[in-house]
Amino acid sequence: MIDVSDPRQATATAPTPTVRPRRYLPQQRHLPVLATLTLLATMYGLGALNYTGFAQPQILLNVFVDNAFLLVVAVGMTFVILTGGIDLSVGAVVALTTVCAAVLLREGWPAGVVLPLVLLIGTTLGLLMGLIIHFFDIQPFIVTLAGMFFARGLCHLITSDSIPITDAFWTAAAQHRIRFGDGYFISISVVIALVVVLIAAFVLAYTPFGRNVYAIGGNPQSALLMGLPAGRTRIAVYTISGFCAALGGVLLSFYMLSGYSLHAQGMELDAIAAVVIGGTLLTGGSGYLLGTVLGVGVLGLIQTIIAFQADLSSWWTKIVIGVLLFAFIILQRLVTRRRG
Amino acid sequence: MSDTHRRLTGLVRQRLFWPVLILVVLLVSNLFFTPSFFSITVRDGHLYGSLIDILRASTPLVLVAVGMTVVIATGGIDLSVGSVMAISGALACLHISGLADQNSVTGVLFAVVLALGLSVLLGLWNGALVAAIGIQPIIATLILMVAGRGLAQLITDGQIINVNSAPYKVIGAGYALTLPVSVLIVVAVVTAAALLIRRSALGMLVESVGGNPTASRLAGIRARQLVILAYVFAGLCAGIAGLIFSSNVSSADGNNAGNLIELDAILAVVIGGTALTGGRFSLAGSVLGAVIIKALDITIYTIGIPSQANLLFKAVVVIVLCLAQSSAFRARLAGITRRGGPARPPATPPGKRPDGTGGGLPQQAGPAAPAEAEVRA
């Protein structure tokens, strides 16, 4: 089926013959990210005005210290959503990673073996889901739902207890602080998360694989007809998401220093929310990793503001995230409609 | 093909054959662990027994699954049902706990009407987002799923509201005509829904909208109202389920009520043979699916496996069912089994590439539809 009713591509590339007066107009595709940036700046400004101590740079750094694992998971989710898919299994894979790492370390396995092993487990799960989605033509939603059940069930089968991690490498990674300036610091997790973001942004923007991801999300059939390796790309994004979830799990185990099958409950929703608030279109094909970073920042800043505002309870976080999701989805509709 | 063989394949091809078989196998396997599994006794004028327990435990899920079926039939999905359950129970309990006399029947009735009214409104909100604004169903209902959990906690103020109201307790834990009231409520709701949907053109219109939105629009079907109605129905079902759930324990827990029930409901719908792509649906199948899930829970519990491990079983069930529904998988399987037999051209369904590339495209779900129609005929 070829959708002939969509003149978007034709008009978007047509050169405009008239010379308009020079005025800064942001590109349509940058609008959602700019909106997120404005929101982030407004929230930070309001926080700094209303609460003493909020304006300190360390508060902003702490947002990333506390959400480094979410950032890594959201990067993987961005790849998947860009192809028009969804990955519901990430929260469960994060939990599985923390449980596996904690149990293996308790058994006395060296950290140098455990670390690659848990990363491999998550990546393999992602690969398997990608293979099923591609080869058997089943909706990503239901396959990753099964993956979520599978990983959570596996956690509980291994152990339902919370296991502390006492391994020297893990505690060192958890407690090490990278200090700079006037006593500001970030954790190793933030550095890892930023490296992941940079690599992922490079891959998306400058490699053939990244362009394939956008192409498949924009129009799967056109991508296929153009001869792009749709299947390979689709399998790869779920593998990447699995890897990112496992890495996020490692970072969470640094943060919590424990493995627990109930860790990261509902994290898939946070990751999806971060990606959407970051301006990535849920239908796929449009969005930037920078947006995802900003989206995670928005989620973190909401938690910080609610922590500062003593009379607001934690459930307001969920309500505010819901309202923001709504606002950004409406914005996405407006942007895509105006383009059409 | 002999006559018995044909009759046998006809039976296997029945849409409800596999769900019924799974349920029977599950129930019979319980006999090995608890010999008295099938015995039903009468005590104090009520029926008691494991089968009744399974029915009673599955009531909220059956309701949610029936609502979900209609939404999925329109080509959508409703992730917010768990949150709506929590909100409905929380609002009813909040109202009852504020009554001077918690045992007043009119007060409880008003609380029920209030909770169900709000559930309908929430369903209307979902439907408006999907049908009027045109947001993808997964995302539109994700908003209420996240925010609704917060709303429920806001209503209960983060606490668990306990009520001590005899009339309210009847909804989830009472008995009438020797059967649990909750089971009777579910039977009434499902029967009414089935009559309304199958005895009028509604069901056909819903299937048409879910099966091919463009064709139904060209045929003059007003998809918008139908889709909104489907989400309202799902909201109402979730609201009733929330009342049953909270009444059964005489309390409202904004955090845990209906947690993850949306996933179980989707699973129940898939087990019941309704495809997630929309179109043809089976209410009876979804009811069976929901009972199967609860029977599985109880079976695992009686065998003595840690109860959380049933997630693993569910994962296996989902994958197996989806593979069975996937035409790409069936084509592959047919290819493998025929390779050993006499030489025949490779079996490829029309419109499907033999290597299965281009998976996940909604358009390619098309070729599966005629095959399904044959099965039903």
* Interface residue B155 vs chain A (CB under 8 A): no
Residues of chain A contacting residue B323, judged by C-beta atoms under 8 Å apart: 132, 136, 138
* Interface residue B270 vs chain A (CB under 8 A): yes
Interface pTM, i.e. ipTM: 0.74
Nearest Cα to Cα of residue B139 among A286, A143, A283: A283
Residue A83 lies in a domain: yes
Residue A206 pLDDT: 93
* Distance between CA atoms of residues A132 and A205, nearest Å: 27
Query: pTM, whole model, 2 decimals?
Result: 0.80
Reported as a pLDDT band with limits 50, 70 and 90, residue A219 is confident
Q: Do A322 and B143 touch (CB under 8 A)?
A: yes
pLDDT, one tens digit per residue, over A76-100 is 999 999 999 999 899 999 999 999 9
C-beta of residue B151 within 8 angstroms of C-beta of residue A323: no
- Exposed / middle / buried, residue B3 (Cβ in 10 Å: 0-12, 13-18, 19+): exposed
Q: Where are the alpha helices (DSSP H) in chain A?
A: 8-13, 31-50, 57-82, 90-106, 111-135, 140-158, 168-175, 188-206, 208-218, 220-225, 230-256, 267-277, 289-308, 315-339
Q: Do B358 and A145 touch (CB under 8 A)?
A: no
Residue B370 pLDDT: 39
Closest chain A residue to B319 measured between Cα atoms? A146
Which of B312, B323, B330 to mutate against chain A (most A CBs within 10 Å)?
B312
Q: Which tokens is A178 given? A: 């990278």
* Distance between CA atoms of residues A56 and A53, nearest Å: 6
pLDDT string in tens for chain B (377-residue length): 567 777 767 766 667 777 788 888 888 887 887 777 777 777 777 777 778 888 888 999 999 999 999 999 998 889 899 999 999 999 999 999 888 888 888 888 999 999 999 999 999 999 999 988 888 888 888 889 888 888 998 888 888 888 888 888 888 888 888 888 899 999 999 999 999 888 888 888 888 888 888 888 888 888 888 899 999 999 999 999 999 999 988 888 877 787 778 888 988 888 888 887 788 888 888 999 999 888 888 887 777 777 667 778 778 877 877 777 677 777 777 777 765 544 444 444 444 343 433 333 333 333 333 333 333 33
Average pLDDT across chain A, whole number? 85
Residue A324 pLDDT: 85
Paired with B160 in beta bridges are: B253
* Interface residue B144 vs chain A (CB under 8 A): yes
Q: Do B322 and A138 touch (CB under 8 A)?
A: yes
Task: Give SS3 for A217.
Answer: helix
Q: Where are the alpha helices (DSSP H) in B199-309?
A: 202-211, 213-218, 223-249, 261-271, 283-303
Residue B24 pLDDT: 86
Q: Do A153 and B140 touch (CB under 8 A)?
A: no
Residue type, A128: L
Residue B317 pLDDT: 76
Q: Which domain does A254 fall in, by range?
A: 31-46+55-334
Domain count across chain A = 1
Residue B230 pLDDT: 92
Residue A9 lies in a domain: no
Nearest Cα to Cα of residue A149 among B288, B65, B139, B310: B310
Q: Which tokens is B210 given? A: 């879910």
Q: Do A142 and B154 touch (CB under 8 A)?
A: no
In the predicted structure, residue A201 carries a pLDDT above the cut 60: yes
C-beta of residue A181 within 8 angstroms of C-beta of residue B302: no
Reported as a pLDDT band with limits 50, 70 and 90, residue A245 is very high
In the predicted structure, residue A313 carries a pLDDT above the cut 60: yes
Distance from CA of A59 to the nearest CA of B (A): 25
In the predicted structure, residue A121 carries a pLDDT above the cut 80: yes
The 3-state secondary structure of A50-88, one letter per residue? HCCCCCCHHHHHHHHHHHHHHHHHHHHHHHHHHCCCCCC
Task: Give SS3 for B268.
Answer: helix
Return the CA Rg of chain B. Answer: 22
Nearest Cα to Cα of residue B143 among A303, A319, A297: A319
* Distance between CA atoms of residues A271 and A269, nearest Å: 5
Q: Report, as an integer, the average pLDDT of A246-274.
A: 89
Residue A264 lies in a domain: yes
Q: Do A149 and B277 touch (CB under 8 A)?
A: no
Residue A6 lies in a domain: no
Q: Which tokens is B290 given? A: 């929901």
Q: Report, as an integer, the average pLDDT of A227-255.
A: 93
Q: Do A145 and B144 touch (CB under 8 A)?
A: no
**Strands A163-164 and A258-259, how do they pair?**
antiparallel
Residue A199 pLDDT: 96
Q: How many CB pairs under 8 A join A and B?
A: 169
